[in-house]
Amino acid sequence: MSVNTIKFMTPYLDPHLLLFFLQTNAGKEATSKLQDQIKSRLLMGKEGEAKKLEESAKQKASKILSLVNSAELETLRSERRFTLGSLKSEKGIEIEDCKHLLTYAKVLYEQGTEKKYKEAEKLLFHLKEILVNESQTNADLVLQVFWGLLACQIINGKGRDSLELTTLRKMREIIERKYSAEGIKHLGPQ
């Protein structure tokens, strides 16, 4: 990808994806000043603030975090009970708990380290599973999860072949349903 292409895309990119593209396509030396400017405006450049936000978000998401970090997770998955409907009736997990987990994943992502990107991807994947049946009632939340997951997968170096096509298809379906057919034509080829 050329520097001109990156300059053209800059206004449309998440700052973390922009940094990733700069680092992988333009080289650190050629763009170090620009990368430093971008980092200084993000949470990754504010370590003290990041730590406080992470602890606060983690505390708010603790109910659902304890579930996704438990041994019970695999059983719930295998029995197809790792959905919001099942978790709500069995564990008292509400949509607000999912929003808290999304916030926590965003804070991890915003810190911009390889480890945090991977942690965020893992949590967003869990959320995607939990919210599998919620695209009608919570479309905005589901889209945020899918966009975040896609960004993490790109930054974590997942190849084009390994990016989940189901995620991309699901995002397209939600967008098409949410917006009129007239509005969707601006998002790319049909």
| pLDDT of 168 higher than 60 | yes
Higher-confidence residue of 125 and 163: namely: 125
Burial (CB < 10 A; 0-12, 13-18, 19+), residue 148, is buried
- Predicted confidence at residue 155, as pLDDT, reads 83
Nearest C-alpha neighbor of 59 from the set 97, 90, 116: 97
Q: Yes or no: say if 134 and 79 are a contact pair by the CB < 8 Å rule.
A: no
Condensed to tens digits (0 to 9), the pLDDT of residues 55-81 reads 999 999 999 999 999 999 999 999 999
Give the residue-averaged pLDDT of 97-124: 94
Q: What is the model's pTM? A: 0.81
Q: Which amino acid is at 79?
A: E
For all residues of the chain together, what is the average pLDDT? 84
Q: Are 108 and 119 in contact (CB under 8 A)?
A: yes
Whether the Cβ atoms of residue 68 and residue 125 lie closer than 8 Å to each other: no
Q: For position 92, what pLDDT does the model report?
A: 94
Checking if the pLDDT of 182 tops 90, the result is no
87 near 130, Cβ under 8 Å? yes
The residue-averaged pLDDT of 111-123 equals: 92
Length of the chain (residues): 190
pLDDT in tens, 121-141: 999 999 999 998 887 889 889
Query: Would you state the pLDDT for residue 160?
Result: 66
Biggest distance spanned by C-alpha atoms of the chain:
54
Average pLDDT over residues 143-160: 84
Q: Using CB atoms within 10 Å of the CB of residue 4, give its burial: 0 to 12 exposed, 13 to 18 middle, 19+ buried.
A: exposed
The span from the CA of 150 to the CA of 130, in Å, is 17
pLDDT tens, 2-46?
A: 667 767 777 777 888 878 877 777 766 777 887 888 888 888 888
- The pLDDT of residue 6 is 66
